[in-house]
Structure 1
Amino acid sequence: MKKLIIAEKPSVARNIADALGIKGRKNGYMEGEKYVITWVFGHLLQLYDVKDYDETRKSWRMENFPFIPETFRYKIKSDPRNKNKVDEGAEKQIGIIKSLMERDDVEGVVSATDYDREGQIIADEIFLYTETSKQVERLLLNEWTKDEVLAGLQRLCPNSDLKPMQDAGFGRQLADWLIGINLTSVATVKYRNANHDQVLNIGRVLLPTLKIIYNRDKEIESFQKSKYYKLIAPFLTEEGEIIEALYMEKDSEKFEDQSYLETILDKMKGQKGLITEKEVERKKEYAPYLFNLSNLQGFITSKFKGWTSEKVLKTAQDLYEKKIITYPRTASSVLDESLKEKAAKVLQAVKRGMPYEEEIKFSDSKRIFDSKKVESHSAIIPTYVLPKNLTPDEQIVYEAVRNRFLAQFLPVSESEETRLVIRAEGAELPGTFTAKGKVQLVEGWKKAESVSTKEVMMPPLEKGALLQAGELAVKEVVRKPPKHHTEKTLLRVMETCGKSFEEEDSEEMMMAILSGFSIGTPATRAETIRKLKDVGYITTKGKSLLCTQLGRMMVETFPVKELFDLEYTGRLEKTLSDIEKNKFQQQDFLEMIKAFTAKSVEAIKGDKVFASKVSLPDSVEVLGMCPECGNPVIESEKAYGCSNWKNGCRYAIWKDDKFIESLGKKVSPEMVRLLLQNGRVGFHGLQSKKGNRFSAYLHYEKDPQKGFYSWKLEFID
């Protein structure tokens, strides 16, 4: 009797066949004495479309939604080039798998798809669809090397043991179908005229990710330019060596008043400085943690041009299927403690020939091996299989993974940092001067990652030494706005659901990531970013990600606000993680999603503001765009208001505004234009109730609880 093994891809099936010594290939499968091996191509099945349940719902009509099936059903997936046709390749392979399952000499089935939610249901869909009665076992592997395949086949477990993972996988799939199908359909129909028949994609993970990018764009736009000053003071030793110091008061080198620093500069001309303190500290710098998928994607996309997170995932997946690295779709940055022996074997293989080979020593440090910080899959590392004939892209990703692995077993990087405190001699100053120097003593792991360290050499000076002040200079520093998100920074925010941590890659951050409270999963984030571009919600400028006008309109006026709430989305993702850990029931999760879907559909149907585009004659002067609905703001007899007032938008600034009049000013078209363009408008010569004159910026802000706009003052010094 034989067992039928179902792999996720033909390449993985070939890896299993190689391990078992099975040669040759038949029509859709391979066969040996004990095993028959076949494969899928990802999902061969898909959930029914709405029209498959009811032909009368074929066209998208508002009254057909919400649509929530009593029982969800599956069909062979559609041809990607023609949605009305069945994918012939999928149909053929399903037929082959079904016939192999029904063979009399096949006693059981082994699911050998990827060990994650998606991999679990790729095979489980087939078992439900074919209604097989034969025993199903699970092959759970983190890599496809020969040793692992053979060992894994000896420790098969019942597929039923993976029921929580199956529940989480199907729960995610059904939730995304319910939200995506219902809200996308209703939103597209509702706002069709405004968006020129464009499909408005609504998704559980798509929209909160858009909100992250929107928030950063708005932060940059509202950034108020400012500057500070610092006093740079070169001191000369008796030998003529220069030490650059900064003037500091209350542990800060930043000063708002330039003239104040210039008085300090004048006092120091021709003066000497006395070293009153000398601190020398030897500092250790540990190697960064091993890569999880998000960190690998961020590392590659920030370092190499032309890379996207999706491209990194695809390349890493190819390396995994070639048996060269371990499973890439992981959130963990350390290894399970059971992998110590395997890691030592890998280390022996991959360190050979490296210029720093002699410095590499195996260690079972908790920074590398800690089972408490592993969720399902360990961090990404190379396998003992050394690569041959890699493509240039594969070489980049493989070397990043290999070098990060080797870095763990090189010495800790050490440097010596010197800090001098210099007090002015002959001039009474409230502050002191601080100079710092750094010398790299042990390069250590930085050799593996080619990390260069900027050294600032410090002459051999001691406390009590006198130094001559050189040409001091006051330097102006302009505070810069935050930078637009890149794929690297966006992935980090998605991974931590917007939460920031004092130290990047800290243990606290690691445990937060593993809790499941995130936007999407390691496997889906790259696809989410790509989809945001494809549907027109974001665009790219170099490596920067920016909201489009459509994306901004979605965030600002789309009526289902929960979908933009990072906290809400994080809770949903954590619930799926809890289902996988058997801490929450799938049915309760789906009831919550069904209620949310029904409520959201009604909110869209009743909306009167979002995307109602108003066309105006060329003769009408447009002062700016309405912050409520994105339509033109124009002048009327009594106000400057939104042209979309017929559809319910009430944004208006009244010409006889009493508050503005109380300040001695009048609402004018130019004032409204500046306000809409910059989010504020500045005035000099405003008058208080007591008759005092002052300058201020005026903001016109909406009270989120009461729903109306009012003026806010920001005084100008």
Structure 2
Amino acid sequence: MKLILAEKPSVAKNIADALKIKTKKDGYFEGNNYVITWAFGHLVELYDAKDYDSKMARWKMDYFPFIPNEFKYKIKSNPRNRKQTDGGAAKQLKVIHQLIKRSDVEAIISACDYDREGQLIGDSIIYRGGHQSKPVYRLLLNEWTPAEVMQGLEKIQPNQTMKPLRDAGISRQWADWVIGINLTSVATMKYQKGRGKALNIGRVLLPTLKIIYDRDKEIENFVPEDYFKLKATFKTNENESYEGFYTVENEEKFKQKADLDRLQDIILKKPGTIIGKQVKKKKEFPPFLFNLSNLQGYITNKYQGWTSDKVLKVAQSLYEKKLITYPRTSSIALEESLVEKTAQVLKAHSADLPYKDEIKFMKSKRVFNNTKVESHSAIIPTYLKPKRLSRDEAIVYHAIKNRFIMQFMPVAEYEETKLTTKIHDEQINGVFHSKGRVQLIEGWKKVENIQSKDMILPSVELNENVQTTHLEVTSHVTKPPKPHTERTLLRIMETCGKGYKEEDSEEELGAILTGFSIGTPATRAETIKKLKDVGYITSSGKNLACTDLGNKLVEVFPVQHLFDLEFTGKLEKILSDIQKGKASKKEFLNVIFRFTNQSVDTIKNAEDVIIHEVSAQKATNEVLGKCPECGNKVIEGRKGFGCSNWRKGCKFVIWKNDKYLKTMKKKPTKTMVKELLKNNKVYVKGLTSKNGKKYNAYLSYTKNTDNEYYSWNMDFKK
């Protein structure tokens, strides 16, 4: 009997389906010589500082820096109340360890995601409590289709070979804990007045904030300048017209309008000659396959209201439904070993397309290239076709499928024509340039019906004479840089400021895809979301901008290394090297510990400045109703509406930042709580669905049958 540990229940179900196991028990599936259980992501987490030393429950400057001699783990905390253990995690952890100890279980297979976080999740559960005597193996998959699961189980590897991946996961986790705990605490004591949310300081958070800050400053300091162009209209011998712009030494923008006005008087109605004609056929290759950052950028730029965090969540859902390959990838190519499988996927998805006869599978370096694959291949659909998709899932899925099919369509081609027209007058130093373009082959653009705008020039010959029929000096103003969007921000995070374009050389792309970045594909969306949540940035439509608090933090916080893209990129590069077995976890952590100690000293010795003043909300003693748990008074507190008998152990509370209500863009109010306590139900208007639609519903707040906490229930009937 083998025990398989999946990262999530949905993945465990996919594995059970592939193995044709139907029997489900409390916390696991069993059958056909396999037991399949699951985690809910991380079931354990690092100790809080106060778990090591009770005095750390209260912050004092003298207590920092704080770096434990040994990092310890505990069952993860209840997200609603961090003072309590998460009951669901504790229960599932107990189930997993009972299964591991079963006498008929001979080996354990970790089937968590094939990345450093997945490795950390699996190992932190399997090896919890000491040495694991039973052999542990690793299932390494890029998708959860039945065929892949069965093939993967035949190729499982000893888990020990994944030690570099685990070391990278541990290094990332410990580094972020040490930097976060120390610098967040010390910065909050130094720069914040009043009790409230801490000033969040993070290894990935601050350089991302600085990118937005720098762009804001560029826009703020931008001084617009006027410039002018001279546009001429020419008529050919065949009575056809075309336009051209006056150019001197490849420059067609001029600062002095008077100079162009003078030329206008000289040129008007004078003949000209076509002294240059270039006609070139040019190829347009499809954009590369999606990695996560490019997918997030594409969707957030094309569809209003989408965030990179939402794109990741939807992509993750498609992955768990076996419809796409692993989404948290930084690669824009596929491994060369996937040629045969990719051909089958293409065949499955092209059969019903109107342009199917133009689709031709081929092994090209743009698509299959091992040197361009970092851990995971690019995102493509699997051979399974979706039966039903939500609106959000359809948007992401079809973007991935279309981008995949584009790779095997004909290359688009167009003809570009450049004309150079010279006026017959010695006073005219410059020439007029005209450009035309005609699409010859639509090719891959058919997949998404991308319309190319033709700019047709008349048919003329070299040395042909033309007549100037109209001249116009046009006025223009230089434009400031555009605010960052999630798309542009993700690009800078992905490449650490070394931005690339689709047409960049393979060598340049290869240099980028080596781990030198801010964060990872999996964490960048979370970083942008966190910047919004902690109040450092705000969004208006697609545009991102720093808040007043974000500006002050960048300008006052003295640890400049944390704002430096190069510094952060180097740390991420070392983590990438640890993952490949090229760098040492111990050396990396020593660098982090030294940096943290120095940073704490820097902050302590910096000038005392208050950048954030928290105005304390006074809790009222107004009685909102009777506690359904113990009958005592329910009153409003700073963080929630709870029982006044809480000191004696009553756990009834409705948190002001309740996560369930937050998903529907609602917060509990005193009026809501009063009605709820009085009638056991409350009618709530203006709830927001995942699709952004508004609706109304009745909510009740009832005690769970399997623990002592309360949960929300929704009903649409009175």
Would you call these one fold, judging by a TM-score over 0.5?
yes
Amino acid at match of 2:394: Q
Q: Which residue of 1 aligns with 2:176?
A: 176
Q: Is the 8 A contact 1:332 1:375 kept in 2?
A: yes
Amino acid at match of 1:253: E
Q: Which residue of 2 aligns with 1:706?
A: none
Q: 1:354-391 CA distances to partner (integer Å, 9 max, x unpaired)? A: 12111000010101101011111000001100011100
Q: Which residue of 1 aligns with 2:157?
A: 157
Q: 1:441-470 CA distances to partner (integer Å, 9 max, x unpaired)? A: 001111113322111112211112222212
5+ residue gaps, structure 2:
615-718
Tell me the CA shift for residue 196 of structure 1.
5.6
Large movers: runs of 4+ above 3 Å: 195-198, 500-506, 612-615
- Paired residues for 1:15-54 under 5 Å: 15-54=14-53
Tell me the CA shift for residue 425 of structure 1.
2.8
Amino acid at match of 2:288: Y
Distance 2:299 2:575 in 1: 29
Distance 1:551 1:140 in 2: 41
Q: Is the 8 A contact 1:519 1:566 kept in 2?
A: yes
Q: Is the 8 A contact 1:179 1:204 kept in 2?
A: yes
Amino acid at match of 1:137: Y
Distance 1:439 1:318 in 2: 42
Distance 1:147 1:371 in 2: 23
Q: Which residue of 2 aligns with 1:4?
A: 3
Alignment TM-score, normalising by the size of structure 1: 0.84
Distance 1:501 1:593, change over 3 A: same
SS at structure 2 position matched to 1:320: helix
Q: Is the 8 A contact 1:331 1:514 kept in 2?
A: yes
Tell me the CA shift for residue 126 of structure 1.
0.8
Q: Which residue of 2 aligns with 1:552?
A: 551
Amino acid at match of 1:143: E
Q: Which residue of 2 aligns with 1:186?
A: 186
Q: 1:91-146 CA distances to partner (integer Å, 9 max, x unpaired)? A: 00000000000000000100000000100100111123143321110000000111
5+ residue gaps, structure 1:
616-717
Q: 1:489-519 CA distances to partner (integer Å, 9 max, x unpaired)? A: 0000001111234666642442233211110
Distance 2:440 2:122 in 1: 54
Amino acid at match of 2:285: Y
- Paired residues for 1:274-673 under 5 Å: 274-425=273-424, 428-501=427-500, 506-611=505-610
Distance 1:269 1:191 in 2: 67
Identity, in percent, stands at 58
Distance 1:142 1:274, change over 3 A: same
Q: Is the 8 A contact 1:232 1:473 kept in 2?
A: yes
Distance 1:514 1:485 in 2: 22
Distance 2:268 2:191 in 1: 70
Q: Which residue of 2 aligns with 1:147?
A: 147
Tell me the CA shift for residue 602 of structure 1.
1.5
Distance 1:506 1:452 in 2: 26
Distance 1:178 1:300 in 2: 35
Single out whichever of 183-192 and 208-217 deviates more from structure 2: 183-192
Distance 2:609 2:331 in 1: 41
Q: Is the 8 A contact 1:414 1:442 kept in 2?
A: yes
SS at structure 1 position matched to 2:165: helix
Q: Is the 8 A contact 1:271 1:427 kept in 2?
A: no
SS at structure 1 position matched to 2:423: strand
Distance 2:552 2:141 in 1: 45
Amino acid at match of 2:8: K
Distance 1:502 1:316 in 2: 24
Q: Which residue of 1 aligns with 2:671?
A: none
Tell me the CA shift for residue 84 of structure 1.
0.6
Distance 1:614 1:23, change over 3 A: closer
Distance 1:153 1:119, change over 3 A: same
Q: Is the 8 A contact 1:272 1:426 kept in 2?
A: no
Tell me the CA shift for residue 65 of structure 1.
1.3
SS at structure 2 position matched to 1:75: strand
Distance 2:505 2:163 in 1: 33
Tell me the CA shift for residue 197 of structure 1.
3.7
Distance 2:254 2:485 in 1: 32
SS at structure 2 position matched to 1:129: coil
Distance 1:345 1:37 in 2: 29
Q: Is the 8 A contact 1:559 1:610 kept in 2?
A: no
Amino acid at match of 2:176: D
Distance 1:451 1:56 in 2: 63
Q: 1:265-321 CA distances to partner (integer Å, 9 max, x unpaired)? A: 111211122111211100011111100000000000000001000000000010011
Amino acid at match of 1:134: K
Q: Which residue of 2 aligns with 1:626?
A: none
Q: Which residue of 2 aligns with 1:231?
A: 230
Distance 1:337 1:436 in 2: 41
How many residues matched? 613
Distance 1:440 1:85, change over 3 A: same
Q: Which residue of 1 aligns with 2:106?
A: 107
Q: Which residue of 1 aligns with 2:207?
A: 208
Q: 1:40-79 CA distances to partner (integer Å, 9 max, x unpaired)? A: 0100000001111112222122222111111101000000
Q: Is the 8 A contact 1:557 1:609 kept in 2?
A: no
Distance 1:198 1:15 in 2: 40
Q: Is the 8 A contact 2:552 2:611 kept in 1?
A: no
Q: Which residue of 2 aligns with 1:82?
A: 81
Structure 1 residue 272 and structure 2 residue 256: aligned? no
Q: Which residue of 1 aligns with 2:621?
A: none
Alignment TM-score, normalising by the size of structure 2: 0.84
Q: Is the 8 A contact 1:8 1:41 kept in 2?
A: yes
Distance 1:303 1:71 in 2: 48
Amino acid at match of 2:161: D
Amino acid at match of 1:87: D
Distance 1:100 1:137, change over 3 A: same
Distance 2:105 2:589 in 1: 36
Q: Which residue of 1 aligns with 2:246?
A: 247
Distance 1:502 1:539 in 2: 27
Q: 1:380-430 CA distances to partner (integer Å, 9 max, x unpaired)? A: 001100011100000000110000000000000100011111111356411
Amino acid at match of 2:186: V
Distance 1:493 1:402 in 2: 26
SS at structure 1 position matched to 2:127: helix
Tell me the CA shift for residue 612 of structure 1.
5.9
Q: Is the 8 A contact 1:331 1:513 kept in 2?
A: no
Q: Is the 8 A contact 2:19 2:32 kept in 1?
A: no
Distance 1:504 1:609, change over 3 A: farther
SS at structure 2 position matched to 1:358: helix
Distance 1:27 1:258, change over 3 A: same
Tell me the CA shift for residue 237 of structure 1.
2.2
Tell me the CA shift for residue 611 of structure 1.
2.5
Q: Is the 8 A contact 2:334 2:378 kept in 1?
A: yes
Distance 1:130 1:14 in 2: 27
Distance 1:609 1:192 in 2: 10
Distance 2:537 2:506 in 1: 33
Distance 1:37 1:506 in 2: 46
SS at structure 2 position matched to 1:38: strand
Q: Is the 8 A contact 1:326 1:382 kept in 2?
A: yes
Q: Is the 8 A contact 1:335 1:371 kept in 2?
A: yes
Q: Is the 8 A contact 1:7 1:113 kept in 2?
A: yes
Amino acid at match of 1:153: L
Distance 2:114 2:499 in 1: 30
SS at structure 2 position matched to 1:21: coil
